[in-house]
Amino acid sequence: MIHPTAIVDPKSEIGDEVEIGPYSIVKEGAVIGQGTKVGPHVVIGEEAQIGKGCRIFQFASVGEAPQALAYKGEKTTLVMGDRNIVRECVTLNRGTVQGGGKTVIGNDNLFMAYSHVAHDCYVGNQVVLANGASLAGHIIVEDYAIIGGLVGVHQFCRIGTHAFIAGITGIVQDIPPYTLASGSRAKLFGLNLVGLKRFKFPETTVRALKKAYRIIFRSKLTLEKAIKQIQEDDIYQLPEVQYLLQFIQQSKRGITR
């Protein structure tokens, strides 16, 4: 159902059972998937692609122009998967040519009120951005990460899978997977044990990650020696430990410690 006060461009594509509320605007080239509900006073930007079963609340802006000085009106897009919840006053910007032209959001994510995803970000699946959390441009947030309220993440950072970032934290370097970060300039405070338990990680995996964490972040070894020690240990057989090391070795901004 499309409310009579909504403005829907004829060159947009609206799926079956889509609801578009009063005074909402859907711009040229936008695609809205089956069963998605768009509340009142929402703006869906040009070329935005929104999947099935999403819920977009009032005053949200999805797929509008990026807040980047380099952007000169080129055709870019935002691609959002299925079953995402976008709460009040959230802003999700499309990409820039310089960053590949696309902001990508996966499935089953929750964007709480006033959170922000800037241009050219990649957000995985089952991610939570709490109220007022903000991602600058070119950020990667991996699956199952939770970003607390009023967190600010610097551009080009990467947030690892199952990481938890406490509220009012400033992120300027990568956050390793499975870890807990907090502080005005983020520091690590061990593993995200609550999250690992919630997702039923085996106790053997948790113990192995704890050992790897101690070797990397709490011993006096250099990073190179710490990685070598883990690779020579039985815990290296576990894929989660391998991924932790891979994430750290591939970091471009450096790792929060």
CB 192 within 8 A of CB 178: yes
The four Cα atoms 125, 66, 119, 91 give a dihedral, to 10 degrees, of -30
Catalytic residue among 106, 120, 152, 162: 120
First to last CA, the chain: 51
Instruction: Please count the other Cβ atoms lying within 10 Å of the Cβ belonging to residue 154.
Output: 15
3 is catalytic: no
Q: What is the DSSP letter of 247?
A: H
Catalytic residue among 21, 33, 124, 137: 137
162 is catalytic: no
Catalytic residue among 119, 160, 174, 195: 119
Show the tokens assigned to 38.
Answer: 């768009």
CA 75 to CA 80: how far, in whole Å?
A: 17
Q: How far is CA 94 from the centre of its chain?
A: 14
* Pair type for strands 43-44 and 61-64: parallel
Q: Which helix (H) or strand (E) holds 249?
A: helix 239-250
Residue type, 85: I
> Rg of the chain's alpha carbons, rounded to an integer?
20
195 is catalytic: no
Could you give the residue numbers annotated as active site?
119-120, 137
